Structure 1
Amino acid sequence: MELYFLGTGAGMPSKERNVTAIALTLYDERGSMWLFDCGEGTQHQMLRSPLKASRLEHLYITHLHGDHVYGLPGLLTSRSNQGGTSPLTLFGPPGLEAMLEPVLRLSGAHLSYELSIREVEEGIVFEDDQFVVHCAKLDHRIDSYGYRVVEKDKPGKLDADKVKALGIKPGPVFGRIKRGETVELPDGSVIDGKSFIGSPIPGKKIVILGDTRYCEAAVGLAVNADVLVHEATFDSSMHDLAQAYYHATAEEAAEVARKADAKSLILTHISSRYQEEQAERLLSEARAKFPAAWLAKDHWAFAVN
């Protein structure tokens, strides 16, 4: 899995940063991509990236402020023109469908695929045999959600040498042991396939938060996360302004990561006042409290190992 940052700015685009959009590529796991937020210009950013809208499977919206949703109509219609035919599910806060439906209808948009819109509430919003996605409400001026993507544990590895030592060659019996089944051998002995399989491999935990002030809900979502993506709109000298506009400082993002015992922190949603090396101030502030912090930039990728 890999996180790819299409837009890392706050409020409005700047020369360095477009507004918010983050892709989670799941090519090895399921051959698809999930997108978190879709600010204006996201489709243009995607054209300059290795990502393909046709492989988009889920699109998660954190909240309905324009810098997180104004790119939706363009991306959804462009996906058709780029050969996207597989179903696409759009998750987001109540009001998402009422906002989007008139735009698509009145513009005569043609979608060559099935679009499903699921308006979320706190709890599990998606689950299948590979992943479960939780969401919780954060502390922002309008309803804003954070998403916790949990990869389910994978089966442990088969000790093939141990199986072969019993004289069992690759074939149907070997396959049943690999699946952890109980098998009766030709000599009448019975073996438990599970005893040949190692411990389950823990799945990854990725947490992507919408706009928020510091809050315990963010800490709860981020517990033991392999990577936490948190807004860092301001530095700590602007704490009062951050509070007034329902945003977080880099230091507060680091405090969330520290309290949640996350493995790594990525700062995004950077105010346009922090251009070029000025943004490094945010990173230094975060690392003073949480050393495993990174500052996202447009078209930067982070491997989730």
Structure 2
Amino acid sequence: MELWVLGTSAGRPILGRNVTSVALQMPQNRGTFWMIDCGEGTQHQLLRTPFRLSRLEKLFITHLHGDHVFGLAGLLSSRSSLGGTEPIALYGPPGLRELIETTLRITETHLGFALRIYEVGEGVVFEDDAFSVEAAKLDHRIISFGYRITERPRTGALNVKLLGEIGVPSGPLYGKLKAGEDITLEDGRIIRSLDVVSSPIPGRVIVVLGDTKPCNSAVELAKGADLLLHEATFSHHLADKAGEYGHSTAVQAAETASAAGVKRLLITHFSTRYKDEDLEALEEEAKTVFLASDIALELKPYKISR
């Protein structure tokens, strides 16, 4: 799995930085990618990546401020014009359905695929046999969600060498043991799956937060995550302004990461007052609290390993 940050600018794009959007490359056997937010210009950014719109499976919207949604209708229209036919599931706060359906209607945009819109609340908003997605409300000027994407554990490895030594014939019996079933051999011996299969391999956890002030729900949502993407709109010198506008500083993002015990923090959503050469200072501020902090770089793949 890889996370690509397609935009790191807050409010509006500037030269060299686009507004908010994230792409998440799903495991190879799934063959798809997911997105979180879709600010203006997102489809231009996607053209500079390996992602194909036809493989977009799900799109999660954190909140309805323009820098997070103004690219959505255009992206959906382009996917249709490119021949995309597989359905897309779109998740987000109340008002998302009205925004999309009204825009498509008055622009007479007709999609060639099914668009399934889910206006979500807190709790699990999606799950299948491989992943679950949980949403939690944050503390912003309007309803803003964070999303916790959790990969289910993978079955442990089968100890083939041991099975050979104790005389278990390869074939269907191996499959039963791998699936957690105990087996009985022809000579009456019982082989327990627990004895020949290693512990389950934990799944990966990725947490992407919408705009927010520091809050307990952000910490709870991010608990133990492999990767946390957190806004850091201002430096700590502007903490009062951050609070006034419902945002966080780099230090506050790092404090959330530390309290949640995450493995890695990426900070993003930088105020346009900061030029590229200023971002290193924001990173250093975060590192004073949480060492495993980095500024998110646009169009750089961040690998998320098991």
Return the alpha-carbon distance in structure 2 between the equivalents of residues 237 and 8 of structure 1: 20
Superposed, 1:208-219 pairs within 5 Å as 208-219=208-219
3-state SS, counterpart of residue 217 of structure 1: helix
The 8 Å contact of residues 17 and 297 in structure 1, kept in 2 or not, is answered as no
Return the alpha-carbon distance in structure 1 between the equivalents of residues 107 and 27 of structure 2: 33
Unmatched runs of 5 consecutive residues or more in structure 1: none
Is the aligned partner of 1:10 residue 2:19? Answer: no
Partner of 1:102: 102
Partner of 1:71: 71
Partner of 1:201: 201
Partner of 1:143: 143
Which amino acid is the alignment partner of residue 219 of structure 2? V
3-state SS, counterpart of residue 28 of structure 2: helix
Partner of 1:131: 131
Partner of 2:155: 155
Deviation at 1:112, TM superposition (A): 1.7
Superposed, 1:26-41 pairs within 5 Å as 26-41=26-41
Is the aligned partner of 1:255 residue 2:255? Answer: yes
Is the aligned partner of 1:115 residue 2:95? Answer: no
The 8 Å contact of residues 90 and 115 in structure 2, kept in 1 or not, is answered as yes
Superposed, 1:165-244 pairs within 5 Å as 165-244=165-244
3-state SS, counterpart of residue 254 of structure 1: helix
Partner of 1:60: 60
Return the alpha-carbon distance in structure 2 between the equivalents of residues 63 and 247 of structure 1: 13
How many residue pairs end up in the alignment?
305
Return the alpha-carbon distance in structure 1 between the equivalents of residues 250 and 104 of structure 2: 37
Please give the root-mean-square deviation of Cα atoms over the aligned residues, in Å: 1.2
TM-superposition CA deviations, 1:136-173 (whole Å, max 9, x none):
11111100010111111111111111111123343222
Return the alpha-carbon distance in structure 2 between the equivalents of residues 174 and 152 of structure 1: 22
Unmatched runs of 5 consecutive residues or more in structure 2: none
TM-superposition CA deviations, 1:111-158 (whole Å, max 9, x none):
121110000101111111111111111111100010111111111111
Return the alpha-carbon distance in structure 2 between the equivalents of residues 174 and 151 of structure 1: 25
The 8 Å contact of residues 155 and 178 in structure 2, kept in 1 or not, is answered as no
Return the alpha-carbon distance in structure 1 between the equivalents of residues 29 and 235 of structure 2: 37
Q: 1:30 to 1:14 in 2, by over 3 A?
A: same
Which amino acid is the alignment partner of residue 180 of structure 1? G
TM-score (norm: length of structure 2): 0.97
Return the alpha-carbon distance in structure 2 between the equivalents of residues 183 and 109 of structure 1: 58
Deviation at 1:81, TM superposition (A): 2.4
Deviation at 1:209, TM superposition (A): 0.2
Return the alpha-carbon distance in structure 2 between the equivalents of residues 183 and 23 of structure 1: 44
3-state SS, counterpart of residue 228 of structure 1: strand
Q: 1:243 to 1:26 in 2, by over 3 A?
A: same
Which amino acid is the alignment partner of residue 199 of structure 1? S
Deviation at 1:102, TM superposition (A): 1.1
TM-score (norm: length of structure 1): 0.97
Q: 1:138 to 1:29 in 2, by over 3 A?
A: farther
Deviation at 1:185, TM superposition (A): 1.8
Deviation at 1:197, TM superposition (A): 0.5
TM-superposition CA deviations, 1:188-238 (whole Å, max 9, x none):
323223321010111111110000111111111111111110000110111
Which amino acid is the alignment partner of residue 181 of structure 1? E
